[in-house]
């Protein structure tokens, strides 16, 4: 059995950085993380075993005078204000790409206030990154989760369109084209519309690379967390490209019949999937398929 782990899969830079910072801090003192540090329960459990506490916003007062980590997804300005009031020491591990996006959205918020326009964000409702992005506009941005939501926009007014960093580039482009078309139907060619390329380059490259990887192997096992929207999106790429693709959270989800008569398996994962977990799945497949 030939088992290959996709060398372009696994943690993105932002997650690697957040986990590195958390482990460094755990070596010094107690620290809590505001929400799951990564959307992968196995990795969260590993860090919990090292002493990392996972807390929600309601538990912040219990950490007055102590350290709390902001994960790669970032937080809205209100979280920093509350932390300051409580004398909570923030250790900020927000992904630099997300930080830059937050700043751009905040500037567009003030610009649109002057022009009586709208900031529009394409993203997943309730996602931690999106909550932080919405917070840059004091919750006034228009959130669209897909084409079905674009009627929330007033097409007679200026629009500044942004995307959550982990969304699908093709779908984002389609949404932008539809909005621009609708605005030009109302305002003509002078429609005041700007769409910004805010999808992470590392994320944008995952789908085409994954398509190639899925074509190269007879069976694909995709390892991802149940809470990860990135995992769901990337697995969809696998399944569309190679129907013999299967999703597991860890080795316990493997089924022997997937590998009957198969001598080649590819293993890939989401931006929230640790390499050690993919290696664990590879070892389990090897043991499962040994004569």
Catalytically annotated residues:
129
CB 148 within 8 A of CB 109: no
Measured in whole angstroms, how far is the alpha carbon of residue 91 from the centre of its chain?
20
**Three-class secondary structure assignment of the chain:** CEEEECCCCCCCHHHHHHHHHHHHHHCCCCEEEECCCCCCHHHHHHHHHCCCEEECHHHHHHHCCCEEEECCCCCCHHHHHHHHHCCCEEEECCCHHHHHHHHHHHHHHHHHHHHCCEEEEECCCCCHHHHHHHHCCCCCCEEECCHHHHHHCCCCCCEEEEECCCCCHHHHHHHHHHHHHHHHHHHHHHCCEEECCCCCHHHHHHHHHHHHHHHHCCEEEEECCCCCHHHHHHHHHHHHHCCCEEEECCHHHCCHHHHCCCCEEEEEECCCCCHHHHHHHHHHHHHHHCC
- 44, 60, 84, 90, 167 from 65: Cα distances, Å: 24, 10, 10, 10, 37
């Amino acid at each position: 059995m030939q088992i290959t782990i996709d060398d372009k899969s696994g943690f993105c830079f932002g997650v690697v950085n957040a986990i590195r910072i958390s482990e460094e801090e755990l070596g010094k003192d107690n620290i809590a993380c505001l929400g799951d540090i990564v959307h992968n329960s196995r990795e969260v459990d590993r860090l919990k075993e090292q002493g990392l506490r996972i807390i929600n916003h309601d538990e912040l007062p219990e950490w007055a005078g102590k350290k709390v980590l902001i994960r790669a997804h970032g937080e809205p300005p209100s979280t920093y204000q509350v932390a300051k009031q409580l004398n909570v020491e923030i250790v900020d591990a927000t992904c630099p790409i997300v930080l830059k996006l937050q700043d751009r959205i905040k500037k567009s918020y003030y610009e649109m206030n002057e022009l009586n326009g709208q900031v529009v964000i394409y993203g997943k409702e309730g996602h931690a990154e999106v909550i932080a992005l919405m917070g840059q506009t004091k919750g006034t941005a228009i959130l669209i989760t897909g084409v079905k939501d674009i009627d929330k926009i007033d097409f007679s007014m200026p629009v500044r369109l942004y995307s959550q960093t982990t969304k699908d580039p093709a779908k984002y482009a389609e949404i932008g084209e539809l909005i621009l078309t609708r605005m030009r139907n109302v305002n003509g060619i002078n429609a005041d519309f700007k769409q910004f390329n805010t999808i992470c380059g590392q994320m944008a490259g995952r789908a085409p690379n994954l398509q190639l990887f899925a074509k190269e192997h007879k069976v694909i096992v995709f390892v991802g967390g149940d809470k990860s929207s990135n995992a769901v999106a990337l697995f969809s790429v696998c399944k569309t490209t190679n129907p013999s693709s299967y999703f597991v959270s860890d080795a316990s989800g493997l089924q022997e019949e997937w590998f009957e008569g198969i001598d080649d398996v590819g293993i890939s994962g989401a931006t929230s999937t640790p390499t050690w977990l993919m290696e664990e799945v590879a070892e389990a497949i090897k043991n499962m398929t040994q004569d």
